[in-house]
Amino acid sequence: MEILKISLIGYMFVALGQDEGMIFYRYQQMIKKLPDWISFPLGGCYKCFVGQLCFWYYILTKPFHLIDFLFFVSAGIFISVVYHFIYTFIE
């Protein structure tokens, strides 16, 4: 359940910054000036951003088990792709 929540929060953070007038648009414009390897994990790419959120959430809150860690991050990224499909279908 945590994966669903984290990936939705991360995806919406990026999605709400893509169009002018949206709440995080200025932030998106600021990070676009940075190199891709920095801007993508900070919100320039929804998959990268959600992966970072899941990565750090797991590291900071769970006892480390490699397989669980890899599943947590991978599932978060996969679910964000599903959210993206739904979001673009609705638009």
Confidence (pTM):
0.87
Hey, what long-range contacts does 54-62 have (CB within 8 A, 24 or more apart)? Answer: 54/3, 54/6, 54/7, 54/10, 57/2, 57/6
5-46 tens-digit pLDDT: 999 999 998 888 777 777 888 888 899 899 989 999 998 899
- Give the separation between CA 36 and CA 48, rounded to whole angstroms: 11
Q: Which amino acid, residue 85? A: F
Mean pLDDT of 49-60: 96
- Give the separation between CA 91 and CA 84, rounded to whole angstroms: 11
Q: Which two tokens stand for residue 84?
A: 């993206």
| 68 pLDDT more than 90 | yes
